Structure 1
């Protein structure tokens, strides 16, 4: 598997949830609590607005782009 990332000089993080997102990523984990802890340790943040209830958790990557994590079950 190969991942490619690059920086966009003109990138401005969305003001979520007010702004429409250009894309959205959902990631599933067997152990969501451990994944959340690891992602927060890597620089993600957890916003107060959590519309998923018990179904998913919204995190923000270091640039401010939202993504969701959930259980594979």
Structure 2
């Protein structure tokens, strides 16, 4: 028997509304909340939350001597179309050179790493 149930994944960032807007552009959904805490209600999926962290420092990637903290794997049907979309929304490529793999690594506008993964 589980002791708990996952409520929400929370990303610290300098501007919760802006980062929620980025992920709404990627995942769809509705952005709700105030300036310090914003929820992204994703249709048919797990919600994400964004919390104001004025001193936020994004993780370094890749950095063998530092933790990336966490990353999101986002499943896509069309890798190239999804890549174009996330770049247009403000993502930065971190590791996209090997086009033979079924994943590519990016940073969101606050610097959190995430992967686009082919189905």
* TM superposition score category, shorter chain reference: 0.7 to 0.9
Question: Runs in 1 of length 4+ with deviation above 4 angstroms?
Answer: 50-53
Mapped contact 2:70–2:113 kept (Cα < 8 A): no
Unaligned runs of 5+ in 2: 1-41
How many residue pairs get aligned? The number is 71
Greater strand proportion: 2
Distance 1:3 1:21 in 2: 18
Higher relative contact order (CA 8 A, sep 6+): 1
> Structure 1 length normalisation: TM-score?
0.80
Larger radius of gyration: 2
> Structure 2 length normalisation: TM-score?
0.52
2:63 matched to 1:63? no
